[in-house]
Amino acid sequence: MTNFETWHRRHIKIIDDGLDRALRRLDLDRKGLGPLGEAMRYSLLGGGKRLRPLLALAAAEAVGGQARAALPLALAVEMIHAYSLIHDDLPAMDDDDLRRGRPTCHKVFGEGPAILAGDALLTLAFATLAGRDPGRAGSAAAWLARGAGAGGMVGGQLLDLALEKRAGPATAGEVRAMEELKTGALMAAALAGGACLAGGDRADLGRLWRLGLDLGLAFQIRDDLLNLSGDPTLTGKAVGSDAARGKVTLPALLGSAAAEKELKSLNRKIMAQLEVFQARGLRLAGLIAALDERQS
């Protein structure tokens, strides 16, 4: 096993253990809120790549800090990601029945409890982050709010809905801008926020934010390509489900070959951006390279 694989496995366990502890500390069963806790646990601990928290930990190392310094941000960003998926799957949004090969949260617990589970995970994220050094935690929270809020992920979700409902065709530029917000902004927040908790300087945080926006676009292009031709037993979704729903994606607009070409160009740009971090950024580079090779 390589050094990166060892690091990857060890830190996924650290993240999963931290998420489990955060839910247990809520003690919702004792408060008569067991069903809410079950819905939160179902979505937060139901699998996933743990990509965003791993980005936060690797970014902490890239700026010369320790991965563990960024753990509160790593846990918080995964909670926000889980909440966003619960809401994204709702009938009013993407209306999905499956997530990671399992029934979506609202299919198991009902729409009302699913919405509330998402709300609870969002607020738990900032409570988890707030327990650290007030100065750095406050700055990291600002990065997280920037990436998750109206000018980031939430705004990107609105643009996505608007593009689906619009009568006229979307442009590739509009889709790129939407994906940077919808997917990239939370990745940018994970990178910049994790580096912030580890003592990164303003220049490094800005670099990591911009890298995260590019990474989000690359990640989404890969997702969209997999939706067209991937293995549904690996992706957890039916092949062609985006096209059947009329979702606007770059592969749909440009064709798969052109989208693949843009993806390769983005990945070269991202790796060039990482060079400034030299050896400290090797784990971050390994994590990003693994994303480009994924099949799910």
Helices then strands (H, E): number in the chain? 16, 2
Structure tokens at 34: 């067991």
**Structure confidence at residue 79 (pLDDT):** 98
| Token pair belonging to 170 | 């979307």
Mean predicted confidence (pLDDT) in 277-283: 95
pTM for the predicted model, two decimal places: 0.94
Residue with tokens 């010369």: 64
Provide the pLDDT confidence category of residue 261 given band limits of 50, 70 and 90.
Answer: very high
In sequence order, the 6+-apart residues with CB closer than 8 A to the CB of 222 are 263, 291, 292, 294
Per-residue pLDDT tens for 84-134? 999 999 999 989 999 988 999 999 999 999 999 999 999 999 999 987 666
Element (H or E) spanning 102, and its range? strand 102-103
Q: Are 43 and 86 in contact (CB under 8 A)?
A: yes
Q: How large is the greatest C-alpha to C-alpha distance in the chain, in angstroms?
A: 55
**How many Å apart are CA 253 and CA 272, to the nearest integer?**
27
Apex 149 CA angle, 147 and 154, nearest 5: 100
Strand partners, 102: 99
Query: Domains along the chain?
Result: 3-292 (1.10.600.10)
Cβ atoms within 10 Å of 13's Cβ, excluding its own: 10
Nearest one of 157, 33, 96, 236 to 106, comparing CA atoms: 96
Which residues are CB-neighbours of 73 under 8 A, at least 6 positions away? 56, 129, 140, 144, 190, 193, 194, 196, 197
Structure token pair of residue 99: 């997530």
Which pLDDT tens digit goes with each residue over 126-178? 999 987 666 789 999 999 999 999 999 999 999 999 998 887 889 999 999 99
